Structure formats: structure tokens, C-alpha cells
Amino acid sequence: MRYEEAETVRVEEIPVIDFGKFLKGGAEDRAAIAAQIGEACERIGFFYIVNHGVPDAVREAVLSEARSFFARSFDEKMKSAPIEDGQWCGYVPPRGATEGTKPGGSLRPEAGKSRVSGGTLEQFNMMRVLLASDPNFGNGDPAFQRNLWPAGAPNFVETMIVNQRALLALSQELMAAFSLALGLEEDYFSRFHKSPLSTFGLNFYPAPRQDLQGGSDVGVGAHCDASTFTVLLQDDVGGLEVQEASGRWISAPYVPGAYIINIGDTMMGWTNGHFVSTLHRVVSRKPVDRYSATLFMNPDIDVTVEPHKNFITDENPAQFEPFNNEEYMKRFFVKFYDNMFKS
């Protein structure tokens, strides 16, 4: 399958935001950056951040470990694949995206009627590593899955844990910015992410196989994320494409040193659609391999997500029913496992 060419993005469409001014600036600077983020989240649900405080060495190490892992033989990779129903962690062979195929897909009933299949994506999925001080350390609930680390890769484990801690710290600052952008208390979203069910992923998109009949440039088909928000590190190959409200697809090219942040369905539910969870896809348009890494920020296990009263009006009544995050995430894990390993 081949997609039509996406239009080259303009900075006004997916802005590049200097997050250092939020991290180190005063109240006026923080308010100004939050306003920029809010505008992007209302309009398209995507933006870049630079000067985010995560060292380049950490980012480079994550992509280096991803390249090393995915270069292993298929049999070696499958030794760390999920083996139990509903398990999400570990190596996932190519099958495609499992989430809804329209904005709000994970929250709207009609999303279950269609899903993306196929694609070339290989993944290695991880849960947040819990510290002994975490209130859920040792929790036997299936939502707190054990990571299936690859054998013989001590640097892999250390690198992923360091990366997790850096991104979780960054996420706390992002949540403060989202709160300010929405006119809420600065700690509003952090209240619901004290021991988050955060998930992390390494992604490998092999170069398109031109020798296959018809060829294909599909890495992952159009989908929305099921998270509060997503933090994406992509290499210099690029490939992410985002659909505007008009239906036009635009490319989100590689920006040196940047993370791409996008709103997920959970945040869209909290804001009653004020912040948008937007369709996006990954398309391999270059004859080279592509690697990326993600953080999906999800709320605490006992959180109930429902539209905030500030975003419910007569003109815009509640669009989403309240949902329990534990049930929501467990359904996601089961759906992921079934789609990847059973269907």
C-alpha cells in the first residue's frame, strides 16, 4: 500500500516551542510558553519542544540501543516477546497499529468497528520501572506488568531506566504547562499522575521493500494515541505525518534536538475536546531504516477520567462518558495482545 505525498509542514502548523523558557523562566515566561502550547493543542494536538533539559547523550543512547536490539535475529527477539494473554511488555513483531482509526477512537464506541492492520513496525514495549518508594511497588495487579528485558543487554536496561526517569521529570513540567494553558491550577494534571501507568516503546520501521509486489510505504496506519499525551523521539529519517482538521496530511519532519508532543484521547476526554487527539501515521518514504522511541503518559490506576466542568457548556455538552483508568488500560493491553498475537 502507498500513501499520497504529505505536504511539507510550516512552523505555524506544528510549532517548535522553546521549552527552556518554561523550565527556567519566571511567571511571565511560563505563561507565554503555556499559551503557545495551548494554542497548538487546541488546533492540531501536536507541537515540538527544544531546550527540554534531556541530555543529548541520553537520547542518542536510547536510539543506539534500539538499533542494537532490532538487529538481533528474529528468534532472539522473540525470546522477550509476550507469552501471556493481556501482556503488553516485550518484543512485538510486525502487525500494525491497534488503536482507533479516527480522533477519539479509543473513547468512542464506533472505533471498535475498524482498526488498522498490517504495516512493518516492530516494537519493544516497556512499563514504567517502579522504585521502592513508589506506592505501587510490588503491586500484583495485572496492570503493573513486569518488563521482559532482552537477555545479555545490561546497557539496554540501564539506558532505558535513565531515559524513563528523564522523560517522567519532563512530563511533570509538561503537565504544568497544560494546566496553565487551560486556566487550571498548575498542579492539576500532576494530581492524577502520581504513580502513572506510563508505558514506553522502541520502534523500528524497516526500509521499504521494493522487491515486494506493489511495494509498501506504510509503517503504521492512521491512528490516535490512547494516552494523556505522548512524547516522541524520532531519528533523522523522519516519517511522522499528521492529519489536519481539514483532512489534509502534513509531514512532521525531524527537528534536531527536539521531542514531538501530541495529545492523546485521555486528555481529549478531560478537556471535553478542547485539546484534540489527532490522527497520525508513520510513512517510510526513504529507502533507509527508521527508529523512534515513545513515552505514553497515562494516569494513575485509580483515576476516573471525565470532562472538566470548565469545558462543559450548553453549546458544548459533555462529549465523553467518565471512565475508570484501570479498566481502560486493561482493555487496551488485552486488545493489543489479541491483535498482535491472536488475530
CA atoms within 13 A on the CB side of 275: 31
The position carrying cell 509538561 is 174
Q: How far is CA 46 from the centre of its chain?
A: 11
Q: What is the pLDDT of residue 108?
A: 52
Q: Which three cell numbers stand for residue 341?
A: 498475537
- Domain residue spans of the chain: 16-341
Residue that wins the pLDDT comparison between 134 and 186: 186
Distance spanning both ends of the chain, measured CA to CA: 20
Q: Which residues of 316-341 are buried (b: 16+ CB within 10 A; e: fewer)?
A: eebbbeebebbebbbebbebbbebbe
- The fraction of the chain above a pLDDT of 70, given in percent, is 83
pLDDT confidence of 214, banded at 50, 70, 90? very low
Q: What is the pLDDT of residue 304?
A: 94
Q: 112: exposed, middle or buried (C-beta count within 10 Å: 0-12, 13-18, 19+)?
A: exposed
Per-residue pLDDT reduced to its tens digit, 138-178: 888 778 888 999 999 999 999 999 999 999 999 999 999 99
Distance CA 178, CA 22 (A): 12
pLDDT confidence of 210, banded at 50, 70, 90? low
Q: What is the pLDDT of residue 209?
A: 63
Q: Partners of 324 in the beta sheet? A: 304
pLDDT exceeds cutoff 60 at 308? yes
Report for 12-21, 29-38, 114-123, 208-217: range of highest mean pLDDT: 29-38
Helical spans, DSSP H, in the chain: 20-24, 27-43, 56-70, 74-78, 154-181, 265-270, 325-341
The position carrying cell 534536538 is 257
Distance CA 269, CA 306 (A): 6
pLDDT exceeds cutoff 80 at 87? no
* Contact indicator for 224, 104 with CB cutoff of 8 Å: yes
Q: What is the pLDDT of residue 12?
A: 62
Per-residue pLDDT reduced to its tens digit, 107-131: 555 444 434 444 578 999 999 998 8
Q: Which three cell numbers stand for residue 251?
A: 509531514
Q: Partners of 220 in the beta sheet? A: 282
| Helix axes 56-70 and 154-181, enclosed angle (nearest 10) | 130
Q: What is the pLDDT of residue 99?
A: 47
CATH superfamily ID and name for 16-341: B-lactam Antibiotic, Isopenicillin N Synthase; Chain (2.60.120.330)
State how beta strands 16-18 and 46-50 pair: parallel
pTM recorded for the entire structure:
0.89
Q: What is the pLDDT of residue 35?
A: 98
Size of the chain, expressed as the number of residues it contains: 343
Q: What is the pLDDT of residue 260?
A: 97
- The fraction of the chain above a pLDDT of 90, given in percent, is 56
Helical spans, DSSP H, in 4-109: 20-24, 27-43, 56-70, 74-78
Element (H, E) at 186: none
DSSP assignment letter at 1:
-
Per-residue pLDDT reduced to its tens digit, 71-84: 999 999 999 988 77
pLDDT confidence of 329, banded at 50, 70, 90? confident
